[in-house]
Amino acid sequence: MFACVPDPIPARMKGLNRAEICDVNFIEFVNGLGQGPGHAPQDAAPVLPGSALDAQGFRELFESQLISRHLDLMARVLRVQNKVFYTIGSSGHEGNAMVARATRHTDPAFLHYRSGGFMAERFRKLPGMDPVMDSALSFAASKEDPASGGRHKVWGSKPLWVLPQTSTIASHLPKALGTAMAIEAGKRLGLSLPVPDDSITICSFGDASANHATAQTAFNAAAWSSFQKLPAPVLFICEDNGIGISVKTPDGWIAESFRHRPGLDYFHADGLDLAGGYAEVQRAVEHCRTTRRPTFLHLRTTRIMGHAGTDFEIEWRALEELCAVEAGDPLLRSAQIAVESGLMDKDEVLALYEQTRKRCFAAAEAADQRPRLTALADVIAPLAPYTPEKVQTEATRADFGERRLQVFSSEAALPEKQPARHLAIQINQSLHDLFAKYPETVLFGEDVAQKGGVYTVTKGLQKAFGPCRVFNTLLDETMILGMAQGFANMGLMPVPEIQYLAYLHNAIDQVRGEACSLQFFSNDQFRNPMLIRMAGLGYQKGFGGHFHNDNSISALRDIPGLVVGCPSRGDDAAAMLRTLAALAKADGRVCIFLEPIALYMTKDLYEPGDGQWLFPYPAPEQALTLGEGRVYGEGHDDLVIFTYGNGVPMALRAARTIEHTQGWKVRVLDLRWLVPLNADWIATQAKGARRIIVLDEGRHSAGIGEGVITALVEAGLGGVPLRRVTGADTYTPLAGAALLVLPGDEDVVAAAAQLE
């Protein structure tokens, strides 16, 4: 290996940055190599005696390593010229090209950002593709970048089954495991998968990220699956370079932590030595593919040239240490193998090195001339696609009558033939309908199977459709949502249940950072449609407190591309579920159905026994349009109340009191759709209003009300007398004290009195 002499610094090295030093190191190291044996091994022969890697394979892997390296070097040079916009490199990790060679291009891959070698090698799997130009377009943030359309520098490719992502702290591990589990689930259900039945899922990450809670979630769930003999063919690849930005991983920590972990089959390979490391990489891949068990490949790597172009390691890391790291550059070992094997002489190695450099710079200069995103409409185009006609056609499609009869047992037992019902029953009936309509639908979560959920909303679904389509998961919301993404990746329609809105906060990045970003960062090439059911909001009686009465809706409003529907009554719930499922099916959208717990069993509106909050079930061809609200008291303009969820029956009760005491005609408007808010509908309904109340059970500083008021002001209606009735800025306490922090009927009446 190259020996760096730190003191004194050779004159030829003075003034060079570490990237330039690594470049010079390689050239000098190769020039210092001796002569080879004088004959080259045959293409199919081992590149070195005893190696599992043949000569042709080595040459191609070496070329992939060089492509990865020169993309890094190019990025460092051209970033300062504003021609490249990303400098987190793969230098020292080029050995991950071995994983690409040992796997198939149809094995879905969720990659660490240091995956240049992997990508260059996987490009060989399909003829006619150019890893250099594709990567250069991505570095340049060009609209023509085939991975993300210029939205981010991501490793990705639709034809190569590399799903673009921006995960940097292991947030991609749950969805990688979920995809592996979905491959097996799809086979059990007899569905046609988009990848071969024996595919495995590839998931790479760094040693520092292995400590993250999200990573541990995936490892635990993988082991949990193994313990129950459930197939989960995921290949976890820990690329261990011994450091996370500037924090060192203790020597031996990864091996000690994972070598004996139950349910994870451990392999170790030297990613710094192609000839020596390939056998174990190959063995790990084949083990995962044949056993269908979660497999952990501990790949030795190093990190040279720092974390990124902005990481000046010389400022915080000893020069002797830097020199030692650079001496372990895997490209030095590859050059040595090339010469010692006789496959190349040192002149050929250097010629290939310089040829690759020229290729990368030429591609980068060409990419710099390609168009970039310059219009907002172009930037957001893939974020939240919406095709109203397609969605409406899909939502109202009712061509599954025969299957419905099987599910509900007879014509007379169809839900639309039954008396009016409350919210929980109608959600249950509509879920039965959706499962009859979409054979690819699966529902899972905590307690949803035999028990039917905490509130029996999923009761009978497993009996009707079987344990492969309705099943319980481990108690882990992060993994539930990761699994949902995996199932969606494999063409299924997941309906995960998060037991309470408060439990989402443990796992919300799986929605915000992962699920909702996929269409955006893949330029709508990949989609992970899903319909997340979630019980929430306040006013629950019997037991409660914050974790069962959570009104933090603003956490959902911050997620780009998300759709959130919130019903207040059963017939709306059925019609909205059809629309949400159609949005997922037709446009690939990620949807949340926020179900008000306190209204699940509500039957009465004004007085006990009046039955005025029971409604007939809508026929299967009836659905709502996204953004369509409900109007109570059409044409009544004395007072208009905007609200949703629990606020709807509350507003109706208050309206009756206000009409009696004030003599006003009151119109109550149920928003129904909370994300995105329909600003046009809000403005239209407010025109002519003499007074407005916005009733929002969310907290005063973080709810839906601000969005409603903004819509009114932007429509020029800010002069209408207005009051906001909200929850207090606090967590919800237990028992009757909860009603002190949540708005009530009397608060609405009092607000109206202030508008006289």
Is the pLDDT confidence value at 2 over 50? Answer: no
**Per-residue confidence band for 4, with pLDDT thresholds at 50, 70 and 90:** low
Q: Which two tokens stand for residue 464?
A: 């009707």
* Dihedral sign computed on CA atoms, order 74, 80, 82, 86: positive
Q: pLDDT per residue over 670-693, tens digit each?
A: 999 999 999 999 999 999 999 999
Q: What is the mean pLDDT of residues 394-407?
A: 97
User: Which pairs with CB-CB distance under 8 Å and at least 24 residues apart come from 314-318?
Assistant: 314/18, 316/246, 317/246
Q: What is the mean pLDDT of residues 479-503?
A: 96
**Per-residue confidence band for 434, with pLDDT thresholds at 50, 70 and 90:** very high
β-sheet bridge partners, residue 631: 669
Cβ count within 10 A of residue 464: 16
Q: pLDDT per residue over 50-75, tens digit each?
A: 999 999 999 999 999 999 999 999 99
pLDDT of res. 3: 45
**Per-residue confidence band for 17, with pLDDT thresholds at 50, 70 and 90:** confident
Report how far residue 670's alpha carbon sits from residue 668's, in angstroms, rounded to the nearest whole number.
7
Report percent pLDDT > 90 for the chain: 85
DSSP codes of every residue in 81-147:
TTS-------TT-GGGHHHHHHS-TTS-EE--S--HHHHHHHGGGSTT--HHHHHHHHHTTBTT-TT
Q: What phi and psi values does residue 615 have, to the nearest 5 degrees?
A: -140, 150
**Per-residue confidence band for 15, with pLDDT thresholds at 50, 70 and 90:** low
User: Which pairs with CB-CB distance under 8 Å and at least 24 residues apart come from 253-261?
Assistant: 253/207, 254/207, 254/210, 254/298, 255/298, 257/210, 258/210, 258/219, 258/296, 258/298, 259/298, 261/219, 261/223, 261/296
For 163-167, 210-214, 738-742, which range has the lowest pLDDT when averaged over its residues? Answer: 163-167
Identify whether 196 is preceded by a cis peptide bond (ω within 30 of 0): no
> How would you label 647-667 residue by residue, b for 16+ Cβ within 10 Å and e otherwise?
bbbbbbbbbeebbeebebebb
Global pTM exceeds 0.85: yes
Q: Which two tokens stand for residue 146?
A: 């085939």
Q: What is the mean pLDDT of residues 506-523?
A: 94
Which helix H or strand E contains 172, and what residues bound it?
Answer: none
Is the pLDDT confidence value at 10 over 70? Answer: no
pLDDT of res. 5: 46
Identify whether 596 is preceded by a cis peptide bond (ω within 30 of 0): no
- Could you tell me how far CA 616 lies from the centroid of its own chain? 37
pLDDT of res. 1: 43
Q: pLDDT per residue over 593-606, tens digit each?
A: 999 999 999 999 99
Is the pLDDT confidence value at 37 over 60? Answer: yes
Residue 448: Cβ-neighbour burial (10 angstroms; 0-12, 13-18, 19+): buried
Q: What's the whole-number average pLDDT of the chain?
A: 94
Is the pLDDT confidence value at 592 over 50? Answer: yes
Report how far residue 340's alpha carbon sits from residue 52's, in angstroms, rounded to the nearest whole number.
16
- Could you tell me how far CA 215 lies from the centroid of its own chain? 14
Q: pLDDT per residue over 218-265, tens digit each?
A: 999 999 999 999 999 999 999 999 998 889 999 999 999 999 999 999
Amino acid at 295: T
Residue with tokens 């660490």: 112
3-state secondary structure 459-510: CCHHHHHCCCCEEECCCCHHHHHHHHHHHHHCCCEEEEEECCHHHHCCCCHH
CA distances from 650 to 330, 539, 636 (A): 68, 11, 18
Is the pLDDT confidence value at 11 over 80? Answer: no
Q: What is the mean pLDDT of residues 312-338?
A: 91
Residue 310: Cβ-neighbour burial (10 angstroms; 0-12, 13-18, 19+): exposed
